[in-house]
Amino acid sequence: MGWYGTAVKRRDVLKGAGSLVVSLAVPGARRAMAADDRPLWRALSPAQLDTYLKIDETGRVTAFFGKMDMGQGVDISIAQIVAEELDLPLDRVDVVMGDTALTVNQGGASGSTGIERGANPLRNAAAEARRVLLELGAEMLGVDAGEVAVAEGAVYLRADPVRRAGFGELIGGGHFDVRLEWNGSYGNALDALGSAAPKDPSEYRVVGQPFPRRDLPEIVMGTHEYIVDVRVPDMMHGRVVRPPVAGSVPVSVNIDSIGAIAGARVVHEGDYLGVVAGREWDAVRAAQQLEVSWSEVEPPFPDMDDLYDHIRRAPVVRESAGGGRGADVAPDRDAVEAALARADRVLQAEYEFPFQSHGSMGPACAVCDYRGDSATLWTGSQKPHYAAEGVANILGLPAGNVRGIWVPGPGSYGRNDAGDAAMDAAVMSRAVSRPVRVQGTRAEGTAWDPKAPASVHFARAGLDAAGNVVGYEMRMKGFSAGDVESNESNPSYSYAGALLGWPNTSVHRLSNPGDRYGFPVNVRYWQTIAPLLERASPLRTAHLRDPLGPQNHFASECFMDEMAVAAGADPVEFRLRYLPDGRDADVLRAAAERYGWEPAVPGPEAPPSDGVVTGRGVAYTRRGLPVVAVIADVEVDLDTGRVWPRRFVVASDQGIVVNPLWLRRTIEGNIIHAVSRTLHEEVRFTPERVTSVDWISYPILEMVDAPEEIDIVLVNRPELPPYGAGEPSTRTVPPAIANAVFDATGLRIRRAPFSRERILAARRASADRQPG
Amino acid sequence: MAVITLDVDGTAHRLDVEPEMPLLYALRDELGLNNPRFGCGLAQCGSCTVLMDGQPIRACVVPVAAVTGKVQTLSGLGTAEEPHPVQQAFIDEQALFCGYCMNGWILYAAALLESDPNPSDEAIRQAFTGLKCRCGSHSAILRAVKRAAATLSDREG
Ligand code: FES
Ligand code: FES
């Protein structure tokens, strides 16, 4: 029997309100959805209007969205955009996302493109639907299309508005059967155009309004379903068994060691090892008690104290002044040397950024039900379409035979451990021929998730006698960001895939800082080095919120401050000297204005030696199209080393604002997450293993250190499309805080995070340098 | 295995489990409850928080045999029709992202306001020591707790 006949039982066919609604008897498919005409086993066509929109007999609209919301309210913005084009009240639009049987692959959550790209096909489909509804309405009313208009979910006669036909009467439950012009792409690039043009933004009434999220009440009432809550009949619980030394693999396994645990079984395929049991607690105990002899391996990592020197010393694998995914571009080193030779003064500095963990609030969880010729995957992954494809690949099934159902997980900030858990559940389900739910331990969520790469940044600048920049060079050297690519369709990128012998397909890439400074000579390039351990490494790298943004801009925006100080300039004014007029300069000015910035050269008049001191720091960045500027007010306690960023002023231009409430929330969450990364987060390791295994060995921000105020200025640009606003503010936070610490203390901290120990050590070092 | 009785959200349950099984596994797997969630299993984050006789405890480390009082979970705190003022304040402030951490924040806030209906900023921050939120809800949570305190004092006054 095919999977749609088993896993998806199309029972519970409800006849309600005259409409045929199929409620899918599948955990995670909580919303009853109008799916009667949506054969679950057939791939949806991105070129069909019906793929994106459905209108039921009551005129209620369901939008089928192929990206994801991970807690930033993207789905409510999508509903606003669809409601806008259809002239519908927002509460008549539902959004379905994350089910591969119901939505096309628009790339999942990816690079803050939920609105920037994900909204386009839905906006176009809704505009096209409105055109069709107008025609149908005119026909039903027996008039020309020019005589009717749309409002409140109905087509009405302009001359006599009581003569009207509701959307439900016009199309309710039926198909539009209208083709869209699809660009042939899946994923982020998917787009589809209709013949009708979407509205002009000047007419917007729903877009631009601050609507609350819809899932919040259930969450705070404790009734929201998360991925960890999925239970399917006959389900077993699985746990991965990880080696004591990174890179070692199981040689032999003593199955008797868990013989006393009822129903516990070992899954040992290739170098992959896990346990499965009927009850979760039994699986936890079996994973702990299983006796394994592991292969002897050389400890793969350097001493942690040697990390940055290891990076400095390591041979370069790939170098480019271009983008990580494009062809190599040779950096013009000669131009830099020539410019620096002409300079009056040369500044140089090196900045260091550690490995960081996603450390999602819950270790990843997934459930897979493998049925021989098909499978169903329940996942918290932010890319369920790709995750389902990956599961199909690792199970050797055609992609169409695996249905992926996203169920909200703990917040996800990139390619975290969820992408591995999906594969783990698939491999274990196949091994025991039962549905298996896998959830990690805290150590697996922190020590074994893919990491943001560690790096060293080498900055040089030449200033002339008047303090003008004549040449600039910024070089990032570090571990490639692409050990694990975020598209989860390739099992090679998963922990299980690596141990089951899928060939290594990691790529070498990093990136350069994003800004618009117009230095006369401006050379930026990056260099990757080899990974410390090729496969299944706890330090393998992947996307983590604003990938490479915090690293690169910690260096570039701190160095801007160092240049301003050297030039005896105010850091806002100094930046504006090199920014073209327009969005970048406007955003920086907006932040300064809201803050009430009075020009001054950063730094204390005399370096304080103890007590609590305060300072302010600025940073401006660009992430492709969105532009952000941040000013931080920071308090530094020189006796304890505590850095407390009390207040942030943020100015953000992300094109037109769709939902100001959730845009503000999203920026606020980003800032706070980035404060945590700046002050606390550093993955620790020994030569044998990662030793950041919990919230004590991988401390993160707690409430005592949370900012008091985050004041956000939204620079609305109704003339521009919406740009990805989810992540760009992240990258401004490490430099803004570092610059404020300098302003307060005169200490230039060039290594993140700014832990208490690091601040105290910097204070001691500077006291040693100061005579008497 | 041992027979253990648990009073959860006003309903009495009899379980036949290992006495050392953490309460979290008993609530989730034996009773099929969802909202207390595994975050660390080490009493370091608060995702698994429930109230025992009104006091927050970390269900991931408390053996089921050690549970002597009445257990209240987040879903037992209020109902959709009649939310607890803290729950209402979290909705009004839109004070969360993924919400995976919310058992801890909401139940600790409810317990705090029970003992100190008008807490200072500092008292709120201190009361939340040991709770984690990975998505950065902290500032919004502070606003929500203050809003809940204001609602409660309006009701009293
Ligand atoms: S799961 Fe219990 S405190 Fe983290
Ligand atoms: S809202 Fe995601 S962990 Fe708190």
Per-residue model confidence (pLDDT) at position A94: 94
Q: Is residue B89 domain-shared with residue B71, that is, in the same domain?
A: no
Residues B49 and B107 in one domain: no
A212 shares contact with chain B (CB less than 8 Å): yes
Whether residue B12 is found in the same domain as residue B52:
yes
E strands present in A225-264: 236-240, 250-254
Q: Tell me: do B95 and B68 sit in the same domain.
A: no
Type of residue numbered A343: A
For residue A491, how far is the Cα from the chain centroid? 20
Distance between CA A487 and CA A509 in Å, rounded? Answer: 15
d(CA A327, CA A348): 29
- A8/A23 Cα distance (integer angstroms): 10
Chain A environment of B87 (Cβ under 8 Å): 220-221
Q: How far is the CA of B135 from the centre of ligand 2 (A)?
A: 4
The CB of B125 under 6 Å from ligand 2? The reply is no
Q: Is the pLDDT of residue A374 over 70?
A: yes
Dig out the tokens for A452 from the structure: 């943001």
CB A68 within 8 A of CB A387: no
What element of type H or E holds A711? strand A709-714
Q: How many whole angstroms from A361 Cα to the centroid of ligand 1?
A: 10
Statement to judge: residues B71 and B90 lie in one domain: no
Across A646-665, average pLDDT: 94
Based on the domain organization, do B47 and B109 belong to the same domain?
no
Q: Quick one: B66 and B121 in the same domain? A: no
Give the dihedral of Cα atoms A581, A554, A350, A684; nearest 10 deg. -170
Q: How wide is the angle at C-alpha A103 spanned by C-alphas A427 and A325, nearest 5°?
A: 70
Q: What is the pLDDT of residues A737-750, one digit of tens each?
A: 999 999 999 999 99
Residues of chain B in contact with residue A729, where contact means CB-CB under 8 angstroms, are none
Q: Residue A279: its chain B contacts at CB < 8 A? A: 29
Residue B32: inside a domain: yes
Backbone angles phi and psi of A143, in degrees to 5: -130, 175
Quick check: A362 and A409 in contact, CB under 8 A?
Answer: yes
Q: Quick one: pLDDT at residue A340? A: 98
Say if residue B60 is in the same domain as residue B119. Answer: no
Q: Do A703 and B47 touch (CB under 8 A)?
A: no
* Average pLDDT of the segment spanning A227-253: 97
- State the average pLDDT over residues A434-457: 97
Whether the predicted pLDDT of A704 surpasses 60 = yes
Q: Is A700 on the interface with B (CB under 8 A)?
A: yes
The domain boundary residue, chosen from B21, B45, B75: B75
Per-residue pLDDT of A470-508, as tens digits, reads 999 999 999 999 999 888 999 999 999 999 999 999 999
Q: Does A711 touch chain B (CB under 8 A)?
A: no
Check residue A42 and give its pLDDT. 54
Is A618 within 8 Å of A736 (Cβ atoms)?
Answer: yes
- How large a percentage of chain B has pLDDT more than 90? 92
Find the residue in A nearest to B100 (Cα): A410
Cβ-defined contact of B87 to A216 (cutoff 8 Å): no
Q: Do B8 and B71 fall into the same domain?
A: yes
Q: What percent of chain A has pLDDT over 70?
A: 93
Each residue's pLDDT tens digit, A447-458: 999 999 999 999
The 10s digit of each residue's pLDDT in A383-420 is 899 999 999 999 999 988 999 999 999 998 989 999 99
- How far apart are alpha carbons A553 and A593 in whole angstroms? 23
Domains of chain A: 12-221 (3.30.365.10), 569-769 (3.30.365.10)
Is residue B136 a part of any domain in this protein? yes
At A369, phi and psi to the nearest 5? Answer: -120, 100
Task: Kindly report the pTM of this predicted structure.
Answer: 0.94
The pair of structure tokens assigned to A669 is 């969450």
Res. A286: pLDDT tops 70: yes
Distance from CA of A223 to the nearest CA of B (A): 6
The chain-wide mean pLDDT, for chain A, equals: 91
Q: What are phi and psi of A356, to 5 degrees?
A: -130, 150
For chain B, the residue count is: 157
- B57-95 per-position pLDDT tens digit: 999 999 999 999 999 999 999 998 999 999 999 999 999
B20 and B57 co-located in one domain: yes
Residue B101 within a domain: yes
We report the CATH number of the domain holding residue B37 as 3.10.20.30
**Domain annotation covers residue B119:** yes
Pick the more confident residue, A479 or A145.
A479
Q: Of B21, B99, B138, which has the smallest distance from its Cβ to A706's Cβ?
A: B138
Q: CA-CA distances (angstroms) from residue A254 to A289, A293, B11?
A: 10, 8, 43
A442·B44 Cβ contact <8 A: yes
Residue B89 lies in a domain: yes
Q: How many CB atoms lie within 10 A of CB A140?
A: 15
Contact call for residues B74 and B35 (beta carbons, < 8 A): yes
CATH number at residue B136: 1.10.150.120
Question: In angstroms, what is the span from residue A663 Cα to ligand 1's centroid?
Answer: 30
Q: Domain end: B50, B75, B100, which one?
A: B75
Domain assignment present for B127: yes
pLDDT at A14: 29
The pLDDT, as a whole number, for residue A189 is 87
Give per-residue pLDDT as tens, A548-607: 999 999 999 999 999 999 999 999 999 999 999 999 999 999 999 999 999 999 999 998
Give the pLDDT score at A20.
32
Buried b (16+ CB within 10 A) or exposed e, A378-389: bbbbbbbbbbbb
Number of domain units in chain B: 2
Same domain? B58 vs B94:
no
Picking from B75, B97, B128, the residue at the C-terminal end of a domain is B75
Name the residue facing B139 among A219, A281, A668 (closest C-beta): A668
In a domain, B80, yes or no: no
Residues of chain B with pLDDT > 70, as a percent, come to 99
For residue B155, what pLDDT is reported?
A: 79
Alpha-carbon gap: A213 to the closest alpha carbon of chain B (Å): 8
Q: Tell me the pLDDT tens digit for each residue of B123-132.
A: 999 999 999 9
Q: What is the pLDDT averaged over residues A252-259?
A: 97
Burial class (CB in 10 A: 0-12, 13-18, 19+), A672: buried
Q: Which of A217, A362, A703 sits opposite B100 (nearest CB)?
A: A362
Neighboring chain A residues of B100 at a CB cutoff of 8 Å? 226, 360-362, 409-411
Kindly tell me if the per-residue pLDDT of A32 is higher than 60: no
On chain B, the residues whose CB falls within 8 A of the CB of A223 are: 34-35, 75, 80
Specify whether B152 is located in the same domain as B106. Answer: yes
**Residue the block writes with tokens 């007590």:** A611
Q: How many CB pairs under 8 A join A and B?
A: 177
Does residue B98 lie within any of the structural domains? yes
Element (H, E) at A404: strand A402-406
**How far, in Å, CA of A157 to CA of A167, rounded?**
14
Question: What residues 439-458 of chain A have any CB closer than 8 A to a CB of chain B?
Answer: 439, 441-442
Q: Which residue of B37, B47, B101, B128 sits with most ligand 2 atoms within 8 Å of its CB, as the best mutation to test the pocket? A: B101
Q: What is the mean pLDDT of residues A301-316?
A: 98
* Residue B70 domain boundaries: 2-75
**CA–CA separation, A356 vs A449, rounded Å?**
10
